[in-house]
Amino acid sequence: MLAEFDIPEGANLIGGQWVAPASGARLDLTDPSDGSHLTQIARGQADDIDMAVAAAHAALDGTWGRMTALERGRILTKMGQLVLTRVESLAVLEARDVGKPLTQARADAVALARYLEFYGGAADKITGQTIPYLDGYTVYTLREPHGVTGHIVPWNYPMQIIGRSVGGALAMGNACVLKPAEEACLTALAFAAIAAEAGLPDGALNVVTGLGGEAGAALSAHRDVQHLSFTGSVGTGGLVQAAAAQNVVPVTLELGGKSPQVVFDDAELDRALPFLVNAGIQNAGQTCSASSRILVQRGVYDRVRDMMAAEYAKLTVGPAMDDLRVGPLISARQKEIVEGFLAKGQDLEIAAQGEIVGHAPPEGQFVRPTLFADVPPDHPLAQQEIFGPVQVLIPFDDEAEAIRIANGTDFGLVASVWTSDGGRQMRMAKALKTGQVFVNNYGAGGGVELPFGGIGKSGHGREKGFEALYGFSVLKTVATWHG
Ligand code: NAD
């Protein structure tokens, strides 16, 4: 599958070379749309991570470490341009590997290019400060790279997450070791090939594929890694943070969510409707910032439920290459998890469900998108991250109750509020305990420029935008006494 990118099967990229893992072991990749075998990837382990970390340090001591910010920026920009020439190939890889409908996979490839362009342009615009101080001193600050940064990414948006995490780290002059999710590695490997083609020096980006408990755990616990960026589940994030703590290494955690959209009586419902539904079913609901809770004021509750139910009735689910609105889930395991949640909802009212197309292969990981109505805010379906195309409708009476319910989970990633009342927009934006708040929209079109991250169990640290570059660098203060 990777022949187009000149990548041998079962290899890692270490120090600019495609090499088999030390153990020679491999893992199978499967197409979630039909269960067919796609290819094999390397089952990298601690030895391979050691070599990748050593190669990254060598890059910092060599050409990569000596490059100016302008030169780094130009390479990142070139990487973005090359990605744009390969959107279709990358989208097909992602559709087959992750089960993402082609249109959504194309959008991810374009977003990857946009991250690289953004961080390419930003690389030489991060500056320090001069600080007025005691007589006889000149004091200034420098922004320097951490050194070697580890990047552990999940399977749901490989291209976007690599773009924002590796893109930001490279812009600041770090050398990266990337560990993609074992379920979805193909675009990570293709990205590495594109980076080399753009002139990224050997060792500045190394990719080791493999299992989380092996390659991922080895990277998290590595003594020669200076920063870790982790995107994934809450449980694994805790393990990564605990491993990094042994070496006192800083960690950015981008974890899950239970993000609400809050619809007031005075909302523009026709504008809200596509956002209310899409934010729940995009990527089959396997989105950290999916909106899985729809809180609706009682005056418009029946209308919103009927409007959303009519949309759900139109949803079709099928193979990624059919490019319907909803594709399969990533794996049999994920399907089992989502079906477990649907079973927990059997005491609830189902407002509507989408349909799986008749020709969908029985080996595909398809589930019907499901909208539940009148869900109590403390029900497991309204509290726990499902990571599937499932949304719950929750009625509320007034602003105070909406805030209480919206903030009433362990998570705090994003939220939106739909209202025409300017004062309420401001009050809600302040009151919602999340990393991002959207007013009269949801997601703001993805927003490479917009700092992103959570509070509570949604994680800590920020990626995207300029803010990420502060996280991917260390501040040094220089105080010179000159009399
Ligand atoms: P996961 O935590 O199982 O896996 C994520 C990554 O961690 C994979 O690369 C995996 O191999 C690795 N990993 C697994 N065990 C490890 C260990 N012991 N040590 C080190 N690494 C290990 O999560 P997932 O099922 O792949 O992804 C789904 C979760 O990710 C959801 O909870 C979702 O909300 C979250 N997510 C968050 C964001 C965000 O930006 N906040 C984005 C996408 C996904």
pLDDT of residue 1: 75
Residue of the nearest CA to atom 30 in ligand 1? Answer: 232
254 in catalytic set: yes
Q: What is the pTM of this model?
A: 0.97
CATH number of 259-447: 3.40.309.10
Tokens of 379: 């029900």
pLDDT in tens, 42-65: 999 999 999 999 999 999 999 999
Instruction: Give the per-residue pLDDT at 64.
Output: 98
Q: How far is the CA of 477 from the centre of ligand 1 (A)?
A: 35
Predicted confidence (pLDDT) per residue in 168-185, tens digit: 999 999 999 999 999 999
The per-residue b/e assignment along 403-424, b for 16 or more CB within 10 angstroms, e otherwise, is bebbbbbebbbbbbbbbeeeeb
* Domain boundaries of the chain, sorted by first residue: 3-255+460-478, 259-447
pLDDT at 119: 98
How far is 406 from 426, CA to CA, in rounded Å? 16
Quote the crossing angle between the two packed helices 158-171 and 186-197, to the nearest 10°.
40
Verify whether ligand 1 is closer than 6 Å to residue 463 (CB atom). no
User: Is 176 a residue of the active site?
Assistant: no
Alpha helices in 316-398 (DSSP H): 332-344, 380-383
What is 3-255+460-478's CATH number?
Answer: 3.40.605.10
Task: Among 152, 209, 338, 464, say which to mutate for ligand 1: greatest number of ligand atoms within 8 Å of CB.
Answer: 152
Query: In this predicted structure, what is the pLDDT of residue 2?
Result: 83
With a 6 A CB cut-off, is 385 part of the ligand 1 pocket? yes
pLDDT of residue 3: 82
The ligand 1 atom nearest the CA atom of 155? 26
**For the chain, which ranges sit under pLDDT 50?**
none
